[in-house]
């Protein structure tokens, strides 16, 4: 991917900023994901309880929504390294734009929102239709982190030009829909025998993207909510006024500035 002019005075290659040291926090995050990814094959008993599972509500393993995003996930393949590379590319620009505190706060909000929605859907499925335990494979480990970081990049650099697969140019804001589409395609894949499709994971990803967008556009803040409420009230009042006009058959007469309209009694 290539993004053109993602910010003032900067040029980035796939989110990889040219110039400046890599953020230590981002490098530490990548190191933790790689270490836990390796441990799942060398010492699986150490990392398995840290992943997000149905035990979070079945057995009240309440630490899982806090730890699952730090545990690397997936088979031993080059795809995992590609995910880490993409996380570095986009995370570097996002970290540079947000700063340390806001970067981690945005990441934490998306991770917790995704876990909360996924667990609620899993809980509802278990009680309503007897749905078996979910693996949450779509949003485990580096995958949910990458979703949040890409959503943050698409929100912060919405007018940048991204070359998808190095060929297709599109505005960066479209990445929000691209990653939702990718998650939906992953949801459609045939699951392992005895496992349902990962609907909780899909909805968790949608929640993470939505929360990230709201947090970075200010629409999730108190002021943003107030503005949205005022716009909704204005729309509702306009609709009511329109209905009253139609019922009473009143006609609004618009006059030009400075025009004096005379009635029939004026000579």
Q: Where are the domains positioned within the chain?
A: 3-222
Tell me the DSSP string of 93-115.
HHHHHH-HHHHHHHHHHHHHHHH
What pLDDT, in 10s, does the model give residues 47-64? 999 999 999 999 999 999
pLDDT band at 264 (very low <50, low <70, confident <90, very high): low
Rounded to a whole number of angstroms, the distance between the first and last alpha carbons of the chain is 75
CATH number of 3-222: 1.20.1540.10
Statement: the pTM of the whole predicted model exceeds 0.85: no
Looking at residue 6, what is its pLDDT? 46
Looking at residue 40, what is its pLDDT? 93
Which residue did the predictor score with more confidence, 188 or 261? 188
Stretch 118-133: mean pLDDT, rounded? 87
Listed ranges 157-161, 192-196, 212-216, 226-230; the one with the highest mean pLDDT: 212-216
What angle, rounded to 10 degrees, do the helices at 100-128 and 199-217 form?
A: 150
Mean of pLDDT over the chain:
82
What pLDDT, in 10s, does the model give residues 104-116? 999 999 999 999 9
Residue 59 is given by DSSP the state S
Please name which of 141, 122, 116, 135 lies closest in space to residue 211, comparing C-alpha atoms: 116
For residue 199, pLDDT beyond 60:
yes
């Amino acid at each position: 991917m290539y993004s053109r002019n993602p910010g003032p005075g900067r040029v980035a290659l796939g989110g990889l900023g040219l110039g400046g040291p890599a953020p230590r926090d981002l490098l530490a995050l990548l190191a933790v994901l790689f270490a836990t990814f390796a441990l799942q094959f060398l010492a699986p008993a150490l990392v398995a309880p840290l992943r997000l599972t149905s035990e979070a509500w079945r057995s009240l393993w309440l630490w899982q929504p806090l730890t699952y995003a730090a545990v690397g996930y997936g088979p031993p393949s080059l795809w995992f390294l590609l995910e880490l590379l993409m996380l570095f590319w986009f995370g570097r620009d996002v970290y540079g734009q947000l700063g340390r505190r806001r970067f981690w706060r945005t990441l934490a909000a998306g991770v917790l929102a995704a876990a909360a929605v996924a667990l609620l859907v899993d809980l509802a499925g278990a009680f309503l239709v007897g749905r078996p335990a979910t693996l949450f494979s779509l949003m485990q480990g580096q995958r949910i982190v990458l979703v949040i970081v890409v959503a943050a990049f698409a929100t912060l650099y919405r007018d940048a030009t991204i070359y998808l697969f190095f060929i297709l140019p599109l505005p960066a804001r479209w990445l929000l829909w691209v990653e939702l589409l990718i998650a939906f395609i992953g949801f459609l894949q045939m699951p392992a025998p005895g496992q349902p499709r990962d609907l909780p994971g899909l909805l968790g990803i949608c929640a993470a993207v939505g929360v990230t967008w709201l947090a970075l556009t200010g629409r999730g803040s108190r002021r943003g909510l107030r503005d949205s409420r005022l716009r909704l009230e204005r729309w509702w009042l306009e609709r009511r006024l329109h209905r009253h006009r139609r019922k009473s058959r009143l006609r609004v007469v618009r006059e030009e500035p400075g025009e004096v309209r005379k009635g029939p009694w004026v000579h």
